[in-house]
Structure 1
Amino acid sequence: MQKKQLTKILLATLIFIAAMILPILQEYRDYLLISAFLIVGLEIVWAAVKNVVRGKVFDESFLMSLATMGAVYLGEYAEAVGVMLFYQIGEYFQGRAVDNSRKAITELLDLQADYANLNTRDGLKRVAPEELSIGEVITVKPGEKIPIDGKVIRGVSYLNTAALTGESLPLAVEIGSEVLSGCINMQGVLEVEVSKEYQDSTVARILELVENASNNKAETEKFISRFAKYYTPIVVSVAFFLAVLPPLLFKEALFQDWLYRALTFLVISCPCALVLSIPLSFFGGIGAASKLGILVKGSNYIEALAKVKNIVFDKTGTLTEGKFSVVSVSSVGYSQQLLLELVAHAEMYSNHPIAKSIQEAYGQKLDNKRVKNLEDLPGLGIIAEVDDKKVILGNELLLEQQSIVIPDFTDARNNNDITELYVAIGGVYAGRIYITDKIKNDAQKTVDLLKKMSIDINIFTGDTEKAAKIVGERLGITNIYSKLLPQHKLENLETLLKRQTTGKVMFVGDGVNDAPVLARADIGIAMGAMGTDAAIQAADVVIMDDSLYKIVMAIELAKQTMQVVRSNIFFVLAVKFTVLLLGFFGLASIWLAIFADVGVSVLAILNSMRLLIKK
């Protein structure tokens, strides 16, 4: 559809230019201009006719059609073609922005498992998840997605829950643990008893939430439609009475003269300057944003950005880097380097993100000959012999089970780190390793600047209360909501939207689990470099280089854009009404009318283009 529209615009433009500048075609100039008008304007005229039949009379199509037909009647074919060309170009770019603003969130489909391994008397049978019933038992092998919600009845493992909760730490599960569809089994074989029908499962609910959230999100009504709602009937009524009443009331008043005056009045009233300059102001803002690495998917989101009064941040991958790293090592009886060396070897066969961070912190080649009797204990840690020393690495519960006493002391670093790993060597406590998901470098600066703009800040995260609180305390954010699944994030956002009486609510996230709230918020921003395709497709704005500070820049640029829009509206209307008043009294010629339309359009366009060249 857009290719067809673009072809019409290009063809009409070529004909228009040829008719205006080539001397050899001057004899056929009017015919060529009429042809160009039919190519680019017939669709608009037909749309106006259909809207009139449906009872929707005073819209922009009707006003554009009436004004250009008036120009055709007056013999100003070039004016008619130019007006329709400008209008179509604006509509083309506006249409592209709308079409690209909210595509299907195909990444969410990756949450769905293609099959389930159903346990039968004859062994495993591969079936569709929709065919499963409550009480049936399925087997989930390492690397497979859990197809439906259920409870583990056999096996232990780690689950990758990042797609649902945004939490990058794997979740340890054992017999009795509840598991959710969409999670990925990372290690052991699990047997799961189905606890919900597929349509009630977590994956199905997320897909439904995103669809409903997208439908519930109101789009900003075009300014020109709101303006034309009042402007068009007034102008058309005045033009009608201007053409009809004087000849009826005064004998010396000739109908042809007053009809000419009325049509001149209509040409003056043509909203071309508004139709073109207002979208171009927004497109100027969008273009300036793109130069800064900020992708804005539509002009209506510029307007929403300028009105933001409340921002909700996801935590992992948004405020933080989404990647674990060792920040310090505390050792007793061993050097920190030796302790890290022994622990790295104990973790050498693990794919756990924490294990990877320890291996990266050690930074040297690992020798598997030094490791034996490795025992991986999901939810607890690892026990292995390294250089014939028994190395125990894990949480506090693991060391307690091994009857190892952990010294009771307070380490200041414990207040600033997400995860502590306790280490024992040879049955004796040997230290601890501090691991954190680092806060982004520009997070503090961004939060401080947003506060100066009188914007309220919240954190919604699927992470633990401790992890969320630590990040909140560091950044000075007090409104923190933790342990949230996608449906809980959406519920909290709905509450926030109802409470927000003025301004807009923005959500900033990066994961598939953020897609419903990104779609439902007044303005959704996805962190593009780290974000999933689902988050990027659901969002209204994408920060391409993952810089949080770009959020501040986007809001400031949106406010500058709205200032240009308002100045264009004031300037255009001031000139229009002045010349309209002159036209009413017969003091405006067709040339002044053209200036009031085309000249004002050019000036408004130049004002809009300031956004693209502004530093």
Structure 2
Amino acid sequence: MGKNCCGDEPIKSSKSHNHAHDEGAHHPQSSKNHGPNHSHEHDHDRHDGHDHSHGSEEFDLQKEAIPLLVVIVLFLIGSIYNEQLHNTPYALAEYLILIPAYLLSGWNVLMTAGRNILKGRIFDENFLMTIATLGAIAIHQLPEAVGVMLFFKVGELFQDYAVGNSRRSIKAVLEVRPDYANLKVDGVITKTSPDLVQIGDIITVTAGEKIPLDGIVIVGTSQIDTSTLTGESVPRSVGVGDVALAGTINKTGILDIQVTQLFGSSSIAKILDLVENASSKKAETEKLITKFAKLYTPIVVFISLVIAIVPPLLIPKATLAEWVYRALVILVISCPCGLVISIPLGYFGGIGGAAKRGILIKGSTFLDVLNDVRTVVCDKTGTLTKGTFKVTQIVPAQGFSKDELLSIAGHIEAQSTHPIAQSIKEAYKGELDLTKVSHYEEIAGHGIRAMLGDRLTIAGNDRLLHQERIAHDTCKVSGSVVHLAVDTKYAGYIIAADEIKDDAIEAIQNLHKIGIKQVIMLSGDNNGVAADIAGRLGLDSYIAELLPEGKVDAFEKILSKLGKSEKAIYVGDGINDAPVIARADVGIAMGGLGSDAAIETADVVIMNDSPTKIAEVIQIARKTHSIVWQNIIFALSVKAIFLVLGAFGLATMWEAVFADVGVALAAIANATRVLK
């Protein structure tokens, strides 16, 4: 046996699929489904303080405006003629005009407060509003009681309108749900529900129709609009053998598609599920405000009671009516509705704004974490590069010809789904006689061993050559390489090149511009290829020749070097990256056109595979975080000022109402900015 060019020291392998060249596999199935319930700890409890179902139904301004106009008319009559009405016997006319207005404007608040009290949830903004207004009625301040409920109702309508806008942004994603499928059986087409179509069935999709299920095109060519899934406006050409995904729209020709996934398992079904449940995972800030409101409300009620009762007992000439009024003013000012409305709305707007851009975020908690990200770690293939390989060089050795070497590689690689194997099969133009291939064996992290006719043949990386003790004079090759040997005789190697994505360089530049300290690439590829890609992209560093378990170890080391409050995200594209995606503070997946692994495993899914979206989602998270904290600081500051004024009798209930509603409206308006 001749002398090897390298030592026989063990070298870390590339990716973890069973057939490993010097590059990783892109596999459509996930090894782990943690979707909405994965290893991150999520809080699935909805906020129970503000019990209105804002946005759960389509907002109808006309329907809401009619009772509001009635209330306004009655309120104006009661306010303008208050003195005359107030001085009638028993003030009966005043009650007949203003109590209906009070009930029309405040019925939802009163009923919600009652329901919450029965459930043991006493201290919320509905309770504050109820006791404040009933107290005003008790001291015969009916116009002010109606004014509190009226302006609160106006604030609610603005809130509903704002939530409706946010929901419409996400509804654009939900509208891709297909209504029917044209099932083709023995040439006869029947319109049926997508839920009833089975794997292997044939469906026909005409121009203008939504594709109802995932499948493979078996007849026809067309242009497909994928914008509903990916945000990309440029249609994609498809023909026989290409993948067609549920939710996309057939633009031109007629397609016959063989179904590969049941509707419940299709990419669009998973997207619908994650979008519908996205708001169930609350951010830490949101949970903090929920806890704050539960503590804050009973304190406010206690302070109000003290203000109502103690001064009349201790201060000469102080009247009970005066100090009860001040206490009621304190209650109105203290209502935390501006916070409990605008903060969830801010996060909801962030999720909706991202969805409009083809980025699906599985919960507001991830927006908070993304705000603290300073390190971005990326996979190479399918994330920064296209993952589509082409044979660029065939280098035979020891008497083998190029055609012979390609023929050997084509036969041995025929059963592999690895991208490099696919590129070799595409490069080989001859007939493949697979009956010649026997005793096929995939060696994890190394390559393939098989019999080709009566000759023992191996195809794989340099590590496999060393493992099989095959003498060769070429070890370090720049590029994704497949070495071949026949009957322990080195036959040469084939290089396949992977293309960098069109926007990958811009993506790295954008990350650095927004203050990301380091962008690191983890790859199963050999060191030469990884170094070349890292240099061309302008990455801060890279780690090559990693198995999936090696990737987790490498990622752990990166995490150990971060500051206490700094977070790291990992961006990958499938099964080989699932362990690291699960380990990351936020796992981002290139969802592409239907990677089930990406949709199921990651916390954030980039639907068009564009790496520039990484910086974009971080910017959305930062803007959302900024807006939420602006609302918190603004609301608490204004309330603190008016609480002091109210306690000293310098603020009336009218001013309290305007302060409360004004804060809520300003916070809502600010929260909607994140959508733009």
Of the structure 1 ranges 251-260 and 71-80, higher mean CA displacement relative to structure 2 is found in: 71-80
Deviations 1:518-558 (Å, cap 9, x if unpaired)?
A: 44433222221267545433432211111122111111222
Give secondary structure in 2 for the equivalent of 1:587. coil
CA distance in 2 between partners of 1:250 and 1:540 (Å): 60
Could you tell me which runs of 5 or more consecutive residues in structure 1 were left unpaired when the two chains were aligned: 53-60, 98-216
Deviation by residue 1:433-459 (Cα, 9 ceiling, x = unmatched): 102454444344433443452433445
- For residues 219-242 of structure 1, give each alpha carbon's deviation from its aligned partner in whole angstroms, at most 9, with x where no partner exists: 625242354477546644442332
Change (3 A) 1:473 1:273: same
**Structure 1 residues 382 and 495, CA, compared in 2 at 3 Å: closer, same or farther?**
closer
Corresponding residue for 1:302? 367
Q: Is the Cα–Cα contact under 8 Å of residues 506 and 524 in structure 1 kept in the other structure?
A: yes
Contact 2:387 2:498 in 1 (8 A): yes
2 CA distance for matches of 1:524 and 1:401?
Answer: 35
1:70 aligns to 2:132 (yes or no): yes
Contact 1:265 1:584 in 2 (8 A): yes
CA distance change for structure 1 residues 556 and 267 in 2, over 3 Å: closer, same or farther? Answer: same
Structure 2 unaligned segments of length 5 or more: list them.
1-44, 75-96, 137-144, 170-280, 442-446
Matched, 1:611 2:674: yes
Residues 411-450 of structure 1 aligned to structure 2 (within 5 Å): 414-415=477-478, 417-422=479-484, 432-450=493-511
Following superposition of structure 1 onto structure 2, how do residues 65-104 of structure 1 map, counting pairs within 5 Å?
Answer: 65-74=127-136, 75-76=145-146, 77-79=149-151
Q: Distance in 2 between matches of 1:598 and 1:577?
A: 15
| Aligned residues between the structures | 471
Partner residue, 1:358: 424
1:70-100 deviation line (CA, Å, top 9, x unaligned): 23433334356567788999999999x9xxx
Residue in 2 that maps onto 1:197: none
Shift of 1:307: 0.9
Q: Would you say 1:289 and 2:354 are equivalent positions?
A: yes
Code of the aligned partner of 1:446: A
1:272 and 2:337 correspond? yes
Residues 182-193 of structure 1: pairs in structure 2 closer than 5 A: none
1:456-535 aligned at under 5 Å gives the runs 456-459=518-521, 475=537, 476-478=539-541, 480=543, 483-485=546-548, 497=559, 499-500=561-562, 501-512=564-575, 514-515=577-578, 517-529=580-592, 532-535=595-598
Query: Aligned partners of 1:447 and 1:252: how far apart in 2?
Result: 72
Counterpart of 2:319 in structure 1: which amino acid?
L
Inter-partner Cα distance in structure 1 for 2:61 and 2:435: 77
Q: Which amino acid aligns with 1:358?
A: I
Q: Secondary structure of the equivalent of 1:252?
A: coil
Give per-residue Cα distances to partners, 1:378-417, cap 9 Å, x unaligned.
Answer: 35556758xxxx99773579999999985x4688xx22x1
Hey, what's the Cα distance between the residues in 2 that align with 1:552 and 1:601? Answer: 31
- 2:661 partner letter: V
User: Structure 1 473/375 Cα, relative in aligned 2: closer, same or farther at 3 Å?
Assistant: farther
Report the CA distance shift for 1:449/1:345 in structure 2 as closer, same or farther (over 3 A).
closer
C-alpha distance in structure 2 between counterparts of 1:244 and 1:397, whole Å: 85
Could you tell me which residue of structure 1 aligns to residue 247 of structure 2? Answer: none
Q: Is the 8 A contact 1:286 1:299 kept in 2?
A: yes
- Is the alpha carbon distance of 1:44 and 1:17 closer, same or farther for their aligned partners in structure 2, counting shifts above 3 Å? farther
What is the SS of the residue equivalent to 2:284? Answer: coil
**Kindly, what percent of the aligned residue pairs are identical?**
36
Letter in structure 2 aligned against 1:265: I
The structure whose RCO (Cα within 8 Å, separation 6+) is larger is 2
Once residues 505 and 311 of structure 1 are traced to their aligned partners in structure 2, the CA distance between those partners, rounded to angstroms, is: 6
SS in 2 for 1:295: strand
1:19 matched to which residue of 2? 67
In structure 2, give the amino acid aligned to 1:361: A
- Closer/same/farther in 2, CA of residues 38 and 327 from structure 1, 3 Å limit: farther
The equivalent residue for 1:591 is: 654
Question: How big is the shift at 1:267?
Answer: 0.8
CA contact (8 A) 2:105 2:153 kept: yes
3-state SS of 1:318 partner: coil
Q: Are positions 1:580 and 2:643 aligned together?
A: yes
**Pairing 1:551–2:614 present:** yes
For the aligned residue pairs, the C-alpha RMSD in angstroms reads 5.0
Alignment of 1:187-266 (within 5 A): 220-222=284-286, 223-225=288-290, 227-228=292-293, 231-232=296-297, 235-266=300-331
Matches of 2:609 and 2:388 in 1, distance apart?
A: 14
TM-score by length of 1: 0.61
Asked if structure 2 preserves the Cα contact closer than 8 Å seen for 1:528 and 1:542, the reply is yes
Aligned residue runs from structure 1 range 1-12, under 5 A: 5=53
**How far is 1:586 from its partner?**
2.0
Q: Distance in 2 between matches of 1:231 and 1:469?
A: 56
